[in-house]
Structure 1
Amino acid sequence: MHRSSHHALLVRQHHAQAAPVFKAAMRFHAPTIPVRFASMDRGRPPALGGDAHSYHPRDVASSPRDAALPALSFRSVQMPSTFQQRITLRNLKVAEFASEETLCFSATVLFDGKAVAHASNDGHGGSTFLRPLQDPDSRDRLQEAESFAKSLPPDVTDYPDPNDSARKMTIEVTLDYLVDCLAEQQHTDKKVRSLFNRDMNNKVLFLKGDRLLFLKGIKPKTIADKPVFFAKLRAKQGDDIVILDELPREEAFVRWKRHTVDGDPS
C-alpha cells in the first residue's frame, strides 16, 4: 500500500475552501435569462404536429425574477497540474454522499496509457491511497509516475498561504495529490456536461450580444417545425442571434460553457 502525505494538510485546506464554491454553484444554477412567448399566456405551448407560426417571441423579460444569476464557478477545481497528459484516470466512481472534506472516489490510474495503480479516497480529508496493480511491472511504472508527478511545477492556488496571508498557497505536486485533482476535475466535467444537456433538452437557448437567453416554457422537442420557429425568433430578436440548437453539439457546449461556467462571455 502506497501513500504520500507530506502535503496532506495543504490539500485538505485547498479542498475545504473549494468545496463550498462548487456546492453553491450547483445549488444556484440558473445561467440564462428567460423570454416568454405571447401564446404561453393563452396556455398553448407548441407541440409536435402543431403550428409553430403562431408562437411569436416577446421582448426579453425585464422583471427582477427574470434576472440572470451569477455564472457557475468551477475554476477552483482545475489546477495547472491537471493539464498534463501522461497521468490520467479510468473507471472513476464517486460517492458524493460520503464526500466531506475531500472527494470520496475510486479509480484506475494510468501512466502513458497503461494502468499502474488503483486509487481511492475515503472523503474525510486524507490523502489518496495508491495501490500497485498485480502485474510485475506495475510497481516500477508506478514509481516512474511518481517521479513524473514530482517533476511538475508547484500548483499556485487562489487561496492565501496559511503561514503568510500576503502570499498564495502553493502545493508541491505529488502523484496522490495529482490523482485527487484529476478525479475532482473529471467529476466536475461530468456534472457540467449534465447541466448542459439538461439546458439543451429543456430550453430554446440563444445568444444575443453578450447574453445567453432562453424561451421560457418552450422545450425544443415540442417544436414541430424548427426552421420556421427559429425564423420567427430571429424576426423578433434579430438576425444576428445564435441559436444553440442549430449548432453542432460540441460547439454549442463550448458557447454555453463560456457564458455559464467560465463566466467570460467575450
Structure 2
Amino acid sequence: MKIELKSIKYAAFSSEETNCYSATLYINGKKIGTVGNDGHGGPDRFHGDHAAFAEADAWCKANLPRWQMNDESFETDLEMRCGQLVDEWLVARDLKTALRTKVLMRNPVDGLIYQVKHRGRVQATAKTIEERHPGATILNTLPFEEALTLYRAAASS
C-alpha cells in the first residue's frame, strides 16, 4: 500500500510536543482526506473517507515494523506513519535549503556531514574541499535521493 502526504504545511513556531502540520493524505494514489496535528501532543485529526482511513490503518498495523519506546513495543498505525512521513519531509526540506547556500561534505572518517558556505561559488568551494579532504563525498554533486540517504544517515547517528 502506498501512503503519501502532499501539500504539507508545517508550523515550527507551534510545534511543541508533536509536529504542527496539515497535509492531504493519499492512499494508492487516491486522495482520501486531510490529516493534521495542532502540535500540542494530541493525536492527529483526520477529515475524509473514514472507511479508507480504517483500511489503511489496519494495513499499517499488519505490515509496518513495530517501534520501541522505553522497552515497550508498539504497532505502527496510520497516525504514526503520517508522523514519520512529516519527519522525512522535514529532513528533505532542510537538505534542499542547505544545498542552496552551502557545499555539504560527508567525511569518510567519521561519516558526519560538514557544511561550508559557497557564496555563489559552488564548484570552486567543492574543489577546495575535495583537495583538502580526499575521499570526502560532496552531497551537492550527487543525485538528490542519494544525497538525502547520506544526509539522513548522518543525522540519525
TM-score between the two structures when normalised by the length of structure 2: 0.71
Instruction: Return the alpha-carbon distance in structure 1 between the equivalents of residues 50 and 140 of structure 2.
Output: 50
Q: 1:105 aligns with which of 21, 43, 48?
A: 21
In structure 2, the CA distance between the partners of 1:249 and 1:97, relative to structure 1 (3 Å rule), is: same
| Structure 2 partner of 1:248 | 142
Letter aligned with residue 67 of structure 2: V
Q: 2:83 aligns with which of 171, 177, 180?
A: 180
Q: 2:118 aligns with which of 192, 208, 219?
A: 219
Unaligned runs of 5+ in 1: 1-84, 133-137, 161-167
Letter aligned with residue 97 of structure 1: F
| Structure 2 partner of 1:21 | none
Letter aligned with residue 87 of structure 1: I
Deviation at 1:107, TM superposition (A): 0.7
Instruction: Return the alpha-carbon distance in structure 2 between the equivalents of residues 131 and 97 of structure 1.
Output: 24
In structure 2, the CA distance between the partners of 1:260 and 1:141, relative to structure 1 (3 Å rule), is: closer
DSSP-derived class of the 2:35 partner: strand
TM-score between the two structures when normalised by the length of structure 1: 0.46
| Structure 2 partner of 1:146 | 57
In structure 2, the CA distance between the partners of 1:254 and 1:140, relative to structure 1 (3 Å rule), is: closer
Q: 2:47 aligns with which of 131, 151, 160?
A: 131
| Structure 2 partner of 1:210 | 109
- Per-residue CA deviation, residues 159-180 of structure 1 (Å, 9 max, x unaligned), is 31xxxxxxx2322232223223
DSSP-derived class of the 1:261 partner: helix
DSSP-derived class of the 2:120 partner: helix
Q: Any conservation in 1 of the 2:17–2:41 contact (CA below 8 Å)?
A: yes
Greater Rg, structure 1 or structure 2? Answer: 1
Question: Identity percentage over the alignment?
Answer: 21
In structure 2, the CA distance between the partners of 1:146 and 1:195, relative to structure 1 (3 Å rule), is: same
The residue correspondences of 1:68-107 to structure 2 (distance < 5 A) are: 86-107=2-23
Q: Once structures 1 and 2 are overlaid, which stretch shifts more, 206-215 or 107-116?
A: 206-215
| Structure with the largest fraction of strand | 2
Aligned-pair Cα RMSD in Å: 3.6
In the alignment, is residue 155 of structure 1 matched against residue 58 of structure 2? no
In the alignment, is residue 114 of structure 1 matched against residue 30 of structure 2? yes
By relative contact order (CA 8 Å, sep 6+), the higher-ranking structure is: 1
Instruction: Count how many residue pairs are aligned between Structure 1 and Structure 2.
Output: 154
